[in-house]
């Protein structure tokens, strides 16, 4: 029995470690290798199905998720055989095969709650390290030594603090401090969109929350933000890079570069509107048949900086409709489940659902200016959000939560 328990803990520990490392993956050193970490996270999760202590279970209740991810894999498979550059498409095909396997499982909700706690602490730790090392190392400070990756992971990590702040059972002061640390870090990096996304999602989560004190908390948060920004602007004005860039976009070459990428993507789409040139082939095409903007000191030409334009270019109308349907259906289903459990006084379940919603919305919004579909760690954010809602659904069915489950089954049949 002792050896079995040890094996359970070992596998669960590795599973948790690689999930965290994938979601917080960077580009350099041990923080890199996001694709490999994603596969290991899924492999150890799958092994968990066969262990005695059931932190991982078969997804028997949200089979629509399996169907949706299978359709995505079918699109990538077809794209591989008709790709402009098959060797570029292949790693993504392999990634999606593992994603399909991942959609076949779900987690125990108690484990999910612990996982969210770990992810919140890691996110705050990354932000603190960046703030402390920034005066010495400059923008490329912190664990990642890259301001863009720091901004991306910290922006995403606000999911675990915001949803906790607007729940009934929380230490308001502590969560406000955590959120201010995260927002300050993003401000210092100067990444505008990654600063705006949490602001949008704070409003959405506050509106959806069933916390009786949510308006009071939102007002306190607003007051702290105004005072904090005013104070920082006097003491350390360079820390407000993101706001400065929002207010003054003149001479912004990154926008001009993005427009070029978007126009190039539309040109590629016009050549094959139905199926595109092959998944992930945009950067190879633009480097071999177009203009390599990196030579002219623009942002590197490795992605379109808009996943929707790039999907049209690479997988055409058919593939784009399939992928966007998965994104939209995930949001709709998450909101549906949240409405069903709102009448129950279960703060923990509600928080997990809101974390799921936050992850999915973060991915969708950032997709308009970033490349989250093509970066393993950021794509895992979307899949992680879907697995969370699958886990909640499974828990509700297992515990026979009255009319909720009957109503869900009735609607599905």
How many helices (H) and strands (E) in the chain? 16, 2
Name residues whose C-beta falls within 8 Å of residue 130's C-beta, 6 or more positions apart in sequence.
141, 142, 143, 150, 154, 185, 188, 189
Residue 366 lies in a domain: yes
Quote the pTM value: 0.89
Q: How many domains, the chain?
A: 2
Question: For residue 10, how far is the Cα from the chain centroid?
Answer: 26
Residues 232 and 323 both lie in one domain: no
Nearest C-alpha neighbor of 124 from the set 109, 143, 148, 147: 143
Residues 49, 58 contacting (CB under 8 angstroms): yes
Quote the CA–CA distance of 41 and 18 in Å, as a whole number.
5
Residue 351, in any domain of the structure: yes
Query: pLDDT tens, 93-151?
Result: 999 999 999 999 999 999 999 999 999 999 999 999 999 999 898 888 899 999 999 99
Residue 219 sits in the same domain as residue 293:
no
Chosen domain end from 196, 215, 246: 246
Residue 247: pLDDT band with limits 50, 70, 90: low
Is 65 within a domain?
Answer: no
Is the same domain home to 276 and 236? no
pLDDT of residue 382: 96
Contact 301, 286 (CB under 8 A): yes
User: Closest Cα to residue 320, out of 332, 328, 308, 329?
Assistant: 308
Q: Residue 105 is encoded by which pair of tokens?
A: 């499982």
> Does 388 share its domain with 282?
yes
- pLDDT for the residue 245: 56
Per-residue pLDDT band for 403 (boundaries 50, 70, 90) equals very low
Express each pLDDT in 261-312 by its tens digit. Answer: 898 899 999 999 999 999 999 988 887 776 666 565 555 556 889 999 999 9
**Could you tell me if 349 and 273 lie in one domain?**
yes
Note whether 302 and 385 are same-domain residues: yes
Q: What is the pLDDT of residue 412?
A: 47
CB neighbour burial string for 302-332, b if at least 16 within 10 angstroms, e if fewer? bbbbbbbbbbbbbbbeebbebbeebbeebbe
User: H helices within 236-252, ranges in order?
Assistant: 241-247
Q: Are residues 284 and 386 in the same domain?
A: yes
72 occurs within a structural domain: no
What's the CA gap between 264 and 257, in Å, rounded? 11
225 and 288: one domain?
A: no
Residue 337, domain member (yes or no) = yes
Residue-number span of the structural domain to which 330 is assigned:
268-408
Tell whether 151 and 242 lie within a shared domain.
Answer: yes
Phi, psi dihedrals of residue 245, rounded to the nearest 5°: -70, -30
Q: Tens digit of pLDDT for each residue in 193-240?
A: 898 999 999 999 999 888 788 788 888 888 887 777 666 666 666 555
273 and 404 fall within a common domain: yes
> Alpha-carbon distance 213 to 216, whole Å?
5
Q: In this structure, what token pair is assigned to residue 22?
A: 């994938």
Please report, for residues 80, 182, 281, 351, 391, the alpha-carbon distance to residue 289 in angstroms, rounded to integers and kept in the order given: 20, 41, 11, 48, 45
Q: How confident is the model at residue 405 (pLDDT cuts 50, 70, 90)?
A: very low
Q: Is residue 214 in a domain?
A: yes
Evaluate whether residue 154 is within a structural domain. yes
């Amino acid at each position: 029995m002792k050896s079995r328990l040890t094996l359970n803990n070992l596998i669960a520990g590795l599973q948790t470690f690689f999930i965290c490392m994938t979601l917080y993956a960077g580009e350099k050193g041990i923080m890199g290798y996001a694709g490999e970490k994603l596969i290991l996270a899924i492999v150890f999760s799958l092994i968990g199905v066969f262990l005695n202590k059931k932190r991982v279970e078969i997804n028997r209740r949200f089979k629509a998720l399996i169907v949706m991810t299978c359709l995505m894999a079918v699109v990538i498979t077809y794209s591989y055989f008709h790709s402009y550059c098959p060797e570029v498409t292949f790693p993504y095909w392999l990634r999606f095969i593992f994603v399909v396997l991942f959609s076949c499982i779900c987690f125990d909700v108690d484990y999910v709650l612990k996982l969210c706690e770990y992810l919140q602490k890691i996110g705050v730790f990354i932000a603190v390290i960046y703030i402390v090392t920034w005066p010495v190392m400059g923008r490329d400070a912190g664990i990642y030594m890259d301001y863009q990756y720091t901004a991306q992971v910290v922006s995403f990590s606000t999911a675990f603090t915001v949803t906790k702040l607007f729940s009934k059972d929380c230490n308001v002061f502590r969560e406000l401090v955590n959120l201010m640390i995260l927002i300050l870090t993003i401000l210092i990096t100067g990444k505008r969109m990654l600063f705006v996304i949490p602001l949008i999602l704070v409003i959405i989560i506050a509106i959806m929350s069933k916390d009786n004190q949510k308006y009071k908390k939102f007002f306190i948060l607003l007051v702290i933000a105004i005072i904090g920004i005013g104070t920082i602007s006097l003491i350390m004005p360079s820390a407000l890079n993101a706001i400065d860039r929002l207010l003054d976009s003149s001479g912004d070459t990154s926008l001009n570069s993005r427009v070029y990428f978007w126009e190039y993507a539309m040109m590629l789409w016009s050549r094959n509107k139905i199926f595109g040139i092959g998944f992930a082939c945009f950067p190879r095409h633009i480097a071999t048949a177009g203009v390599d903007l990196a030579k002219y000191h623009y942002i590197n030409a490795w992605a379109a900086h808009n996943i929707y334009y790039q999907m049209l270019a690479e997988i055409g109308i058919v593939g784009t409709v399939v992928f966007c349907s998965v994104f939209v259906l995930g949001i709709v289903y998450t909101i549906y489940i949240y409405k069903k459990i709102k009448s129950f006084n279960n703060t923990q379940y509600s928080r997990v659902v809101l974390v799921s919603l936050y992850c999915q919305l973060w991915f969708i919004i950032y997709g308009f200016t970033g490349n989250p579909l093509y970066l393993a760690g950021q794509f895992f954010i979307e899949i992680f959000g879907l697995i969370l809602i699958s886990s909640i659904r499974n828990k509700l069915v297992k515990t026979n939560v009255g009319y909720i489950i009957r109503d869900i089954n009735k609607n599905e049949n």
